[in-house]
Amino acid sequence: DSGVTQTPKHLITATGQRVTLRCSPRSGDLSVYWYQQSLDQGLQFLIQYYNGEERAKGNILERFSAQQFPDLHSELNLSSLELGDSALYFCASSVGSDRKQPQHFGDGTRLSIL
């Protein structure tokens, strides 16, 4: 158990809809990272938050947004969903201030768009 909690585990929805994925980091971690894992693109970094502030952005679509709340949990919002958004979405957390404190991953949310 990595200590990173993601909900829900599975999500099935239709094109055009909006969903919210939730992540609770490990105790003591201030930084949260979101990654997308698809068969063709592999694991891709989306966005990083540190103590409520955005720190880094990867190839995140404009239809996607995220935030980190004062209690440090994070949400990833995906809107106007397309078939190609079907993927595994992982959250990871780390201390966020020391590269020698590596990221630990949750078990992901599997998003299926019908």
CB of 99 to other proteins, least distance (A): 4
Task: Give the binding-site size for other proteins (rule: CB under 8 A).
Answer: 30
Mention every residue, 6+ apart, whose C-beta is less than 8 A from residue 78.
18, 19, 20, 21, 63, 64, 85, 111
C-alpha to C-alpha distances, 22 to 19, 25, 41, 73, 105, nearest whole angstrom: 10, 10, 22, 7, 13
Site string for other proteins, 53-72 (x = CB under 8 A): --xx-xx-------------
Figure out which of the listed residues 24, 26, 33, 81 binds other proteins, where binding follows CB under 8 A: 33
Binding site for other proteins (CB under 8 A): 2, 4, 31, 33, 35, 41-45, 48, 50, 55-56, 58-59, 90, 92, 94, 96-97, 99-100, 102-108
